[in-house]
Amino acid sequence: MDKLIIDGGYRLKGEVTISGAKNSVLPILAATLLTDEPCIIRAVPNLRDTHTMIKLLHSLGKSVDFDKDTIRITSTHKANYVADYKLVSTMRASFCVLGPLVAKLKQAKVSLPGGCVIGVRPVDLHLKGISALGAKISIEAGYVVAKVDGFLKGKCIYLGGVFGSSVLATANVMMAASLAKGKTIIESAACEPEIVDLAEFLNKMGAHIRGAGTPYIEIEGVKALKGTEHKVIPDRIEAGTFIIASLITQGDILIKNVIAQHQSALLDKLKEAGVNLIVKDNTIRVKSPNKPLKPINVTTLPYPGFPTDMQAQMMALLSVTPGISVITEKVYPDRFMHVPELNRMGAHIQREGPHAIIEGVKRLSGAPVMASDLRASACLVLAGLVAKGRTSVSRIYHLERGYENLDEKLRNLGAKVVKEKE
Radius of gyration of the chain (CA): 21
- Catalytic residue ranges: 116
The sign of the torsion formed by the CA atoms of 153, 302, 340, 90 equals positive
For residue 113, the minimal CB distance to ligand EPZ (Å) is 8
For residue 86, the minimal CB distance to ligand EPZ (Å) is 18
- Of 121 and 390, nearer to ligand EPZ (C-beta) is 121
For residue 82, the minimal CB distance to ligand EPZ (Å) is 21
For residue 169, the minimal CB distance to ligand EPZ (Å) is 5
Nearest Cα to 2, choosing from 375, 411, 410, 395? Answer: 395
- Of 209 and 254, nearer to ligand EPZ (C-beta) is 209
Residue 312: φ, ψ to 5°: -65, -40
DSSP secondary structure string, 46-72?
--HHHHHHHHHHHHTTEEEEEETTEEE
Helix (H, G, I), strand (E, B) or coil at 239: helix
- Of 269 and 321, nearer to ligand EPZ (C-beta) is 269
- Of 129 and 251, nearer to ligand EPZ (C-beta) is 129
For residue 389, the minimal CB distance to ligand EPZ (Å) is 28
- Of 93 and 132, nearer to ligand EPZ (C-beta) is 93
What is the DSSP-derived secondary structure letter of residue 32? Answer: G
What is the DSSP-derived secondary structure letter of residue 93? Answer: G
Question: How far is it, in rounded angstroms, from Cα 306 to Cα 329?
Answer: 10
Nearest Cα to 363, choosing from 224, 248, 210, 203? Answer: 248
- Of 119 and 340, nearer to ligand EPZ (C-beta) is 119
Question: How far is it, in rounded angstroms, from Cα 212 to Cα 346?
Answer: 44
Question: How far is it, in rounded angstroms, from Cα 157 to Cα 163?
Answer: 17
Helix (H, G, I), strand (E, B) or coil at 136: strand
Helix (H) or strand (E) holding 17: strand 13-17
For residue 238, the minimal CB distance to ligand EPZ (Å) is 10
Binding site for ligand EPZ (CB under 6 A): 22-23, 26, 92-93, 119, 121-126, 161-163, 166-169, 190, 194, 308-309, 331-332, 374-375, 402
What is the DSSP-derived secondary structure letter of residue 373? Answer: S
Nearest Cα to 393, choosing from 416, 418, 370, 361? Answer: 370
